[in-house]
Amino acid sequence: MKRSMLLVGLTLLSLAQAQKTVSLVHSGAITGPTSDVGGPYAAAIEDYCKYANEQKLIPGYTLNCIVRDDQYQNPNAQRFLEEALDRAKPAVYLGYATGAMLALKSLIQEVKLVAIPASAHIGLIDPPDNTYVFLPTSSYSEQVVALLEHIAREKKGAKVALVVHPSAFGRAPIEDARKAAAQLGLSIVDVQENGGSLDNTALLRNLEQKGAEYIVHQNVAGPVANILKDAKRLGLDKKIKQLGAIYTGGNDLIRLAGDAAEGYLWASSYYTLEEDTPGMRLHRELAAKNNRGVLGQSHNYTAGLLAAAIAVEAMKRAAQRFGRIDNATFYDALVGMNGPNAFNPGFVVKTANSPEIDFTKSEQTGGEGLRVLEVKGGKFVPITQPFTSTLFRKVHYGK
């Protein structure tokens, strides 16, 4: 009897050793403010986790995905992260909001946990406490500077207004945008905050009086759609051209603004849903398989897939290279993701000179390429080749 029990025990132990578990934690706004971004983002993380386990992407490991809804509340995000650190010892934290990530930077540094946030606030990868934070794609600041470069190419000395979300997320690129505008010979005539208003007549009239020829948005799709509709109503759509960073655009904007979105310019690193790349094929497959409906049509679903794919790839490499996955090996695997070891999942564009996703200890932005897309006939279509903003590095890092 004793012998058989010992045998059973040993079998269970060997099974447990053969298939270990590694945890990934995501906390984001599945409900509450900005859940139109956070919902598809979290859905994509869940779907990719399922896919990773089905395909056994991490040899010898089962991926345990902990997805929590922080409702865009910083205290919730902090609580979930602390709880996960205590109970699940995650190898990576897929964060979300700018505010929560800025608040958690010192904790992330202290516990040496790699964090890959949905927020692309440049302050997250700037010192201090920036060692373990990595942005999947270019920062908001780089996106806005790239849009200013596009404006400068289109019209020298143009007058530009910035309309931003009233939060750390919205204000993130203002300083770099001012410096870039000065270098490009553009003038920033006004910076206004707008968190969503039923009527934007006053905002638009004021910007018109200040001579704004372009409005650059750093916001989410809802407020931008309202401004576009009001601009059309006031006949300002021909007079003032509007552009925006990553979270302003996508299918959500077209759905909300309708015809008023025509001509809107959008800086995005992601391929569109119609493009034929391995990543976008996977996007379509997972969204259909998991019945994601409207969530699966969002570029924020692509963004969630990318974040999860980077995490899973680093786990896989850590397991293969070091034989174990923990905070330290995950970090080493991630910062080794460059040169011939760069990661090319097919979710974001790459430039002629850089791979799709690469990280080093000092280069904490994954996908550095982006394109400007324009709404034509109810769809975003690229109007530039993928490029990186050289001016952004000059104004932000002084090099």
Q: Which residues bind other proteins (CB under 8 A)?
A: 30-33, 35-36, 38-40, 166, 190-194, 196-199, 201-203, 205-206, 209-210, 221-222, 225-226, 229, 233-235, 252, 255-256, 258-259, 293-295
Q: How far is the CB of 75 from other proteins (least distance, A)?
A: 17
* Residues composing the chain: 399
Beta-sheet pairing, 379-382 with 371-376: antiparallel
Q: Are 138 and 367 in contact (CB under 8 A)?
A: yes
Residue with smaller CB distance to other proteins, 166 or 382:
166
Q: How far is the CB of 9 from other proteins (least distance, A)?
A: 43
Q: How far, in Å, CA of 257 to CA of 264, rounded? A: 10
Q: How far is the CB of 248 from other proteins (least distance, A)?
A: 12
Residue with smaller CB distance to other proteins, 20 or 210:
210
Q: How far is the CB of 71 from other proteins (least distance, A)?
A: 10
Residue 260 CA from chain centroid, whole number? 25
Residue with smaller CB distance to other proteins, 330 or 380:
380
Q: How far, in Å, CA of 287 to CA of 302, rounded? A: 10
Q: How far is the CB of 48 from other proteins (least distance, A)?
A: 17
Q: Looking at this protein, which amino acid is placed at residue 126?
A: D
Q: How far is the CB of 27 from other proteins (least distance, A)?
A: 15
Residue with smaller CB distance to other proteins, 250 or 367:
250
> Among 166, 174, 172, which residue's Cα sits nearest to residue 190?
174
Residue with smaller CB distance to other proteins, 255 or 324:
255
Q: Are 215 and 205 in contact (CB under 8 A)?
A: no
Residue 122 CA from chain centroid, whole number? 12
Residue with smaller CB distance to other proteins, 194 or 302:
194
Residue with tokens 């695997």: 333
**Residue 131 CB neighbour total at 10 angstroms:** 17
